């Protein structure tokens, strides 16, 4: 299989580095067993950066290796030691690279040497318990997890940055012309579609140096995908001027310079966006006797269309000096009018679902879905195996106003609450709570609120059990109402005055006695 040397389109699968986890640690010294929290923070994950390098002319490296991953951040340690930051991954791309997302939306247009794009941001490192300590929580028994880095698929499309674009039918002599006016040495042969990739040549005319590129394979219907031109038409979008290279010595029946010019112009018009480019016409191969005769027949008509026409020969060099100086004149004027391109650093920041750091609550068939930058980030940072960390998350959501918003929208205790993207969401049972203070905390890593009974959960369990023995005409709501009526009819425990959850006091030997075996003494 042939190995391509020029690739102008590539799809990259990118994964930025994950942030390192914070650490929960308590300083212990002689005569000072509890010296306070000293867990360090996790390091930042490495980002993936695209950087323009004018010495790179192709995307072939990414054609062979499309999956790229940055380095993860280091984990924190005790004694206030923070984890190291992951190393950024810098990927060099040619000047004129267009970056698109999977849907084809343009993320950035990278032009100018040194321009950089942070296309995948590394994850934040998690805070250690030293950074989480407060007046209420003096020695946290938990730390925050590092956040995952961005993972995305981007499409790179190269639009060659050239000053002059040569267009024309196959075998019109575009490659020969570039070889004659520059030091480029493209493949040249006497059959159509010899050129399979855009060729670039650096031309000097007087004090002006500029780049010339050809667009291979343009034929009638190229804008619809015929031939090779549909793959390379985008390379003329950045050109200051377009030069029509017209074959005056074609041996194909039915071909003439005027028709060839009109066909190519129609394809350029159908592609769009090129009407404002100045046009030059190069009647090539006038060194051939028939070629000179045909050029003499059409030159005045072309000039009558307000086109600058040059009779040239790539083989003998005739007319090339005048053509290159005309190109240089256009390039000089275009550069004078063009704004100065300064290298810049572009950072792609994913847009929040609700447009900011706030949040929104949406009722769905699955439950109440909470969307927002902060709630989703906090969920990613939480270690759900640690009760105190879960309690800390509940406090943060409560302070943000999530519980109040849910209550105002009609959420009931025990309802399902979903936070996070649909592909990796975390599901909770709604249980309004109060903010945890130091007096509510138990042992390190525990939260007493998470050990309370859940009435709503028990009610759902009772309803599920009741559905197994329900009457045929009963619906779920009927079962729920029947169980509620039975519970109210039973009432509280009269002997203890409690709410029915369990006796607060009892007489030994009675049915309220948890040790009574049912026999009479």
Q: Which residues are annotated as a binding site?
A: 168-175, 193-197, 214-217, 284-287, 313-315
Question: For helices 257-271 and 289-304, what crossing angle results, to 10°?
Answer: 50
The Cβ-side half-sphere exposure at 223, using a 13 Å CA radius, reads 11
Q: What is the DSSP letter of 198?
A: -
Cα distances (angstroms) measured from residue 63 to each of 16, 59, 97, 105 = 19, 7, 14, 21
Cα distances (angstroms) measured from residue 203 to each of 78, 120, 318, 327 = 63, 38, 16, 10
**Annotated binding-site ranges for GTP:** 168-175, 193-197, 214-217, 284-287, 313-315
Q: What is the DSSP letter of 441?
A: -
Provide the token pair at 296. 């003499």
Report the distance separating Cα 312 and Cα 326, nearest Å. Answer: 13
**Annotated binding-site ranges for Mg(2+):** 175, 195
Report the distance separating Cα 321 and Cα 9, nearest Å. Answer: 35
Give the sheet arrangement for strand 416-419, strand by strand.
Answer: 359-363, 368-372, 416-419, 426-429
**Listed residue (226, 156, 157) closest to 198, CA to CA:** 157
Provide the token pair at 104. 């084809």
Report the distance separating Cα 471 and Cα 334, nearest Å. Answer: 85
- Residues near 52 by Cβ (< 8 Å), separated by ≥ 6? 92, 93, 94, 95, 97, 110, 111, 112, 113, 114, 115, 116, 343
What three-state secondary structure class fits 480? Answer: helix
By the 8 A CB rule, do 404 and 361 touch?
no
Kindly report the three-state secondary structure assignment for every residue of 94-161: CCCEEEECCCCCEEEEECCCCCEEEEECCCCCCCCHHHHCCCCCCCCCCCCCCCCCCEEEEEEEECCC
Angle in degrees, CA 488, 481, 409, rounded to 5: 105
């Amino acid at each position: 299989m042939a190995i391509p040397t020029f690739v102008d389109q590539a799809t990259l699968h990118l994964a930025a580095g994950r942030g390192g986890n914070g650490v929960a640690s308590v300083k212990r010294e002689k005569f000072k067993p509890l010296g306070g929290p000293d867990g360090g923070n996790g390091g930042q994950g490495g980002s993936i950066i695209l950087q323009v390098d004018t010495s790179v002319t192709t995307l072939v490296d990414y054609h062979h290796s499309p999956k790229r991953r940055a380095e993860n951040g280091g984990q924190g340690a005790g004694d206030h030691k923070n984890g190291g930051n992951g190393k950024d991954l810098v990927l060099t791309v040619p000047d004129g690279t267009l970056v698109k997302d999977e849907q084809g939306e343009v993320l950035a247009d990278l032009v100018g040497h040194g321009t950089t794009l942070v296309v995948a941001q590394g994850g934040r490192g998690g805070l250690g318990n030293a950074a989480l300590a407060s007046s209420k929580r003096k020695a946290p028994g938990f730390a925050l997890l590092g956040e995952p880095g961005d993972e995305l698929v981007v499409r790179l499309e190269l639009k060659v940055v050239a000053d002059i674009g040569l267009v024309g039918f196959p075998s019109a002599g575009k490659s020969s012309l570039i070889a004659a006016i520059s030091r480029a040495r493209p493949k040249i042969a006497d059959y159509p579609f010899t050129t399979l990739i855009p060729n670039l040549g650096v031309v000097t005319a007087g004090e002006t140096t500029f780049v010339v590129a050809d667009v291979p394979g343009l034929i009638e219907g190229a804008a619809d995908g015929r031939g090779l031109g549909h793959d390379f038409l985008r390379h003329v979008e950045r050109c200051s001027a377009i030069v029509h290279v017209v074959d005056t010595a074609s041996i194909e029946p039915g071909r003439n310079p005027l028709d060839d010019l009109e066909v190519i112009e129609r394809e350029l018009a159908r592609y769009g966006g090129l009407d404002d480019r100045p046009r030059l016409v190069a009647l090539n191969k006038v060194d051939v006797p028939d070629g000179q005769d045909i050029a003499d027949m059409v030159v005045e008509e072309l000039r009558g269309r307000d086109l600058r026409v040059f009779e040239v020969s790539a083989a003998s060099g005739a007319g090339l000096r005048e053509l290159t100086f005309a190109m240089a004149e256009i390039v000089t004027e275009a550069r004078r009018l063009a704004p100065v391109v300064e290298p810049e650093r572009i950072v792609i920041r994913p847009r929040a679902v609700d447009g900011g750091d706030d949040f929104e609550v949406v009722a769905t068939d699955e439950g109440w879905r909470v969307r927002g930058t902060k709630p989703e980030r906090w969920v990613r940072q939480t270690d759900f195996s640690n009760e105190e960390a879960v309690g800390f998350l509940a406090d943060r959501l409560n302070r943000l106003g999530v519980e109040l918003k849910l209550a105002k929208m009609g959420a009931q205790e025990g309802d399902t609450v979903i936070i996070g993207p649909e592909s990796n969401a975390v599901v909770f049972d709604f249980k309004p709570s109060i903010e945890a203070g130091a007096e509510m905390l138990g042992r390190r890593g525990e939260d007493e609120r998470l050990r309370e009974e859940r009435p709503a959960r028990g009610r759902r369990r009772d309803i599920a059990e009741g559905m197994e023995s329900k009457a045929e005409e009963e619906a779920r709501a009927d079962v729920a109402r029947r169980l509620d009526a039975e519970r109210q009819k039973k009432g509280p425990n009269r002997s203890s005055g409690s709410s029915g959850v369990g006796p607060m006091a009892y007489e030994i030997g009675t049915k309220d006695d948890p040790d009574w075996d049912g026999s009479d003494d």
